[in-house]
Amino acid sequence: MVGIGAMSSARAKFQAEKCNVLLWPKKAFVYHYTHTKFERSEQQLERERWLVPRLIPFNRYMLMPCAVLVQACCGSLYAWSGFNLPIEAQLFGRNGGVDRAIVVNVFYVAVAIFAISAALLGPWLERNGPLKGLLLGSGLFFFGNLLTALGVYVKQLAIVYIGYGVFGAMGLGISYISPVSPLQKWFPEIRGVAAGLAVCGFGAGSVFSPFTQKALIGPNFHKTGEAHVGIELTFVILGSCYFLIMTLCALILRMPPPGYTVRGINIETVKGAERKVDLQRTPQKTWLRRALHRKTNLEASTPPIAFSTSGRTNDGQNKEDGSSVLVRVVPQIDYSAHFSMILMEALTSVQYWMIYVMFMGAEITGLLIISKIQSIVQNQLGRSADDAAVVNSILGGLNLSGRLVLPLISDLIKSRKPLFVLSLACQAVCLGCLPSALDARSYAGVLACAFIIGFFYGGGFGMIPAFLADQFGAKNVGATHGVILTAWAIDAVAGGLIFSAVYNKQKKLYPDDSMRWYDLNFRWILAPVLLSFLVCLFIPTHLRDRKLPKIAGEVLRFRFLDGRLVRLVRWRPVWLSKEEEKVEWAAYLQSLAPQPTATSTMVDGKGDPLFDSHQVVSQSPGLPSALTKGKTQSVD
C-alpha cells in the first residue's frame, strides 16, 4: 500500500510539473506584454540630463534629426528591388536583363520578419529603452548585410535569405520603432508632428538608396557584368555606413524622466483625459501670487483653498528679509488614472483591432501600386524607362510629404480619424477610376490616381503612431505600433502574392490586351478599402464613447455629424442630446469615487518656483502633509 501511495504521489507530482511546463509559454507571453515599465536609477536619470556630461545639456528637439536619420537607414528596405537583377546575374548568370522573379522573394520574407520582430520586441523596447533597442537593431542589421554579402560571394541564395530576410529584417524591425516611441513620449502636445518626423525618414531612404546602390554596384552590371565595387562590397559599405549612423543616433535617444508632463499630458494620458495647465501671476505689494488653475476635460474639480506661509528658499530656510510667499493649493479630483491602460488591455480591446483593420485597408493600395507603377508606365502606357524612374521618384516624394503634411494637419484639427476617413475615401475613388483611365490610355489620369494614393499611403504611416498614442497612451505606443505593423506585412506578403497570381491569370486570359491585366486586381483591392472605410467610421475616438457604460440591448454607438452620440439599441437608433450625455457622464464619474488630490506651487520673491521642475514634492514645509501629496509637473 505504501508503494502504491508513493507511485500515486509521484504521478500527481509529474502531472503537476507537466501542467507547469505547458503553462509556462502562456505565462511568459502574458508577462512579456504586461510588464513594460522602464526603470532607471537616479544616477542614470542624472546622466540623461546631459548630451555631453557637464558641457552640453540634453534637449528634446535633438531627437528629431536622429529619428529622421535612423528611419532613412531603415528605408533602404524599400530599395531592395535594385538588388534583384544584379544578385540574379551574380548567382545564376546574366540573362539579358530579364527578371527571373526569384530574388524578389527575399523582400517578402524581409517584410514579414520586419513586422513580426517589431510586434514581438515592442514590449522589450519599452522595458529597456531606445538606446538598447537601437543598438540591438543596428547590430542585427549590420550582421545581416555582412551575411548577405557572404551569400552573394559564395553564390548561395539560402544565405541571402537568412542574412537579409531574417537577421537584417529583425534589425530593421526593432530599429524602426526605436525612435517612434520616445518621440511620442517627449512631444505629447504635438503627437502628429512627432510621429510624422519619426517615420518620414523611411520614405526619404527609399528615395536616395537606389542611387547609392546603382552607383556602387554599377548601372549595367546585370547586363554586361561591368562593376564598380561589386555587389558584395556594396552590402559591406552600405551596411557599415548604416551601422555607424544608427549607433551614433542611439546615444542620443532616451525616454523622458518619470513624471514628465507637457501641457497637462504625460505618457499615460489618453485623448480626452488631458489636464490643461494655466499659470497666472498677480503681484500685490511684497506678496506674489501664482495660482495654478487646472481644468480637465473630465469636468471634475473643486474650489481652490489658499494658504500663506513664511517665505522659504529651495533648501527650506526662512528668508532674511521676512518676505512672504502665497502658496496656492488646488485640491481636485483626478480621474486620469481610471482611463490609463496597460498594454494587454490595449491589445485585447475591440477598438485596437478596429484600428488594425482600418490601417490594413489604408495601406494595401499604396503598397501594391508603388510596387507596380514603373511596370504600368512602361508596359501599359508605353513610356520610357527614364519616364518610369521619374514617376517613381515623384511617387516617393509624395509618400514622404504625406508622412509630414497629414500628421501636421491632424495636430491642427486635433483629430486623426477624419483624415483616415478622407484617405480611405480618396483611395476608393482612385481605385474605381484606375481601370477606366488605363482603358483610355490616359497618362495624366493614371498618374493622378497613383500620386493621390501614394500621398495618403505615406500619411497613414505618419499618423498611426499618434493615433495609437491618443487612444492607448504614449507609454504603450512602442508595442502597439509594433503589432499594428503586422497589418502592413499582411498587405505586403498576402496582398502581393494574390496580386501576382491574379495578374498572371489575367495575362494568360488576355495575352494581347495588356490594359486588362490589372483590372481585376484594382477591383478586389477595392473591397478591403471599403471595409476599412466602414470600420473607421465606427472607431470610438471620443473618451465618452469608449467609457460610458452600455445600456441594455445596446449593440453599437457612434457620433453623428453634429457631434451627438447615437446608440443602436436592438438595432434601432437612440439619439442623446448634449445635456443627456453630460448627465450620464457626470453620473459615471461620480460612480468611480476617486480620492481627491492636491497640488501646490511655491514661488520666491521673483515669482519663480521654489522647486526644480523634475523634483518630486513629498511634503512642502509649512503646509499640512495631507495637502501636499502631488508631484510637480515638468512643463515646457
Average pLDDT over residues 422-434: 95
Domain count, the chain: 3
pTM of the model: 0.76
Above pLDDT 70, what percent of the chain? 77
Least confident of 56-65, 93-102, 154-163, 355-364: 93-102
Given a cut of 80, is residue 600 above it in pLDDT? Answer: no
Q: 616 or 444: which carries more pLDDT confidence?
A: 444
Does residue 10 form part of some domain?
A: no
pLDDT at 170: 96
Average pLDDT over residues 411-438: 93
Q: Which three cell numbers stand for residue 85?
A: 537583377
Residue-wise pLDDT for 345-384, tens only, equals 889 999 999 999 999 999 999 888 877 787 788 778 888 7
Whether residues 291 and 379 share a domain: the answer is: no
Distance CA(101)–CA(174), nearest Å, equals: 28
Q: Are 358 and 421 in contact (CB under 8 A)?
A: no
Single residue among 540, 557, 583 that ends a domain in this structure:
540
Q: Are 487 and 495 in contact (CB under 8 A)?
A: no
pLDDT at 358: 96
Does residue 5 form part of some domain?
A: no
β partners of residue 617: none
**CATH code assigned at 208:** 1.20.1250.20
Average pLDDT over residues 616-631: 36
pLDDT at 364: 93
Least confident of 46-55, 156-165, 222-231: 222-231
Q: Are 51 and 62 in contact (CB under 8 A)?
A: yes
Given a cut of 90, is residue 589 above it in pLDDT? Answer: no
Average pLDDT over residues 560-583: 86
Given a cut of 90, is residue 84 above it in pLDDT? Answer: no
Does residue 19 form part of some domain?
A: no
Does residue 4 form part of some domain?
A: no
Residue-wise pLDDT for 170-214, tens only, equals 999 999 999 998 999 999 888 899 999 888 888 788 778 878 888
Single residue among 207, 240, 262 that ends a domain in this structure:
262
Q: Are 537 and 556 in contact (CB under 8 A)?
A: no
Whether residues 418 and 491 share a domain: the answer is: yes
| Confidence class for position 572, pLDDT limits 50, 70, 90 | confident
Q: Which three cell numbers stand for residue 105?
A: 522573394
Whether residues 283 and 258 share a domain: the answer is: no
Please state whether beta strands 572-575 and 305-310 pair in parallel, antiparallel, or not at all (unpaired).
Answer: unpaired
Given a cut of 60, is residue 503 above it in pLDDT? Answer: yes
Whether residues 245 and 281 share a domain: the answer is: no
Whether residues 526 and 587 share a domain: the answer is: no
| Percentages (nearest 5) of helix, strand, coil residues in the chain | 65, 10, 25
Cα atoms in the 13 Å half-sphere on the side-chain side of 291: 11
Is residue 349 packed enough to be buried (19+ CB in 10 Å), middle (13-18) or exposed (0-12)? middle
Q: Cα 49 vs. chain centroid, distance in angstroms? A: 25
Give how far Cα 132 sits from Cα of 45, 77, 125, 179, 337, Å.
Answer: 16, 22, 8, 12, 29
Whether residues 466 and 353 share a domain: the answer is: yes
> Nearest Cα to 135, choosing from 224, 220, 243?
243
Whether residues 312 and 402 share a domain: the answer is: no
Whether residues 345 and 321 share a domain: the answer is: no
Whether residues 428 and 283 share a domain: the answer is: no
Query: In one letter, which amino acid is 28?
Result: A
Does residue 13 form part of some domain?
A: no
> Nearest Cα to 202, choosing from 480, 430, 485?
485
pLDDT at 566: 87
Query: In one letter, which amino acid is 504?
Result: N
> Nearest Cα to 186, choosing from 257, 246, 133, 129?
257
Q: Are 604 and 311 in contact (CB under 8 A)?
A: yes
pLDDT at 475: 86
Given a cut of 90, is residue 16 above it in pLDDT? Answer: no
Most confident among 144-153, 264-273, 277-286, 597-606 (mean pLDDT):
144-153
Q: Which three cell numbers stand for residue 339?
A: 482611463
Whether residues 104 and 207 share a domain: the answer is: yes
Range of the domain at 120: 25-262
Does residue 144 form part of some domain?
A: yes
pLDDT at 594: 53
Residue-wise pLDDT for 516-527, tens only, equals 888 888 899 999
Does residue 124 form part of some domain?
A: yes
Whether residues 525 and 401 share a domain: the answer is: yes
Does residue 267 form part of some domain?
A: no
Residue-wise pLDDT for 263-301, tens only, equals 878 878 787 766 544 434 334 333 333 333 334 344 333
Most confident among 128-132, 540-544, 577-581 (mean pLDDT):
128-132
Whether residues 419 and 439 share a domain: the answer is: yes
> Nearest Cα to 203, choosing from 359, 475, 387, 406?
406
Find the distance separating the first CA and the last CA of the chain, reported in whole Å: 77
Single residue among 240, 262, 284 that ends a domain in this structure:
262
Mind spelling out the 3-state secondary structure of 198-239? HHHHHHHHHHHHHHHHHHHHCCCHHHHCCCCCHHHHHHHHHH
